[in-house]
Amino acid sequence: MLKEIISTVLAAVQLATGSFMVLPDTASPEEVSKPERSYIIHAGGEIQGYFGTNSLDALENAYSKGNRYIEIDFSFSSDLRPVCIHDWNHLSYSGYDGIKPTSEEFASNTVYSMFTSLTLEKLCDFMKRHEDLYIVTDVKDHNMYFSGILKREYPELCDRFIIQVYSEEQYDFISRLGFENIIFSLYKLDYYKQMDTDYLVSFAKEHKLYAYTFNAVLCDTEGYVDAMLECGTPLFIHTVNDKQMQKKYFDMGISGIYTDNTTHE
């Protein structure tokens, strides 16, 4: 059923843009400017001692403190609409009783009984009012379907969504949709592929990537970061809150760090 929906969404995107069929098989590799040391606020960031809420309150709080790159998790409601929650086992959502809610039901409930739940619609409304905000997506399942929804419903915002992909298949599909800002997140690859720096460097040289991102523990593997730096693609790591460790990783050549902290020295 979901494959049929994805096909329908893709067909709608093709009709709407009129350009999908003439795009190349993969995005042409281009020079990517390496960003300065930067922070990506994880799951909306810490708020009042709570982490990973993906809530409107957390988004507003992080933005008010000057953060402009914020990661948000997405799952799907029972009516197949994107909602901002890590997964349905995340007990912070007060309206979950073992049955997925509709998007309307999700929106009417809270996170930790105190924060406002965030839907894709609410998020995009916020982005329209704050034109310097960029959202890094973390869509655990049905990432291609999610990207098709963005392209169809919010084409004017697509250049401010930085899409994380977890496989070559997802990269090919999402780049064909026209998304130019794509992060290849490595954690879903098997361990041996994550450690295959020759493969990763080669992939980066042949495809346009905004960044690679991987677990910070890989930085402790001798030679790993140096080998990855050979691809010329910015390297991001997740998730690091300790400021001394952040400095250590930046000094190694890491360009971006996912963190729950919303203030930085």
Walking along the chain (265 residues) 10 residues at a time, the average pLDDT comes out as: 49 41 37 64 97 96 98 96 87 73 92 94 98 96 97 98 98 97 97 97 97 98 97 97 97 98 91
Q: Say how far apart CA 110 and CA 96 lie, in whole Å.
A: 10
| pLDDT number for residue 97 | 74
| pLDDT number for residue 86 | 87
Q: Say how far apart CA 222 and CA 212 lie, in whole Å.
A: 18
Q: Say how far apart CA 242 and CA 247 lie, in whole Å.
A: 9
Q: What is the CATH number of domain 37-259?
A: 3.20.20.190
Q: What is the value of pTM for the model shown?
A: 0.88
Alpha helices by DSSP H, 18-86:
56-64
How many residues are recorded in the chain? 265
| pLDDT number for residue 67 | 97
CA of 85: how far to CAs of 48, 61, 193, in Å?
A: 18, 17, 28
| pLDDT number for residue 32 | 38
| pLDDT number for residue 82 | 97
User: Which residue type sits at 130?
Assistant: H
Give 257's DSSP letter.
Answer: E
| pLDDT number for residue 71 | 98
| pLDDT number for residue 36 | 61
Radius of gyration, CA atoms only, the chain: 18
| pLDDT number for residue 242 | 97
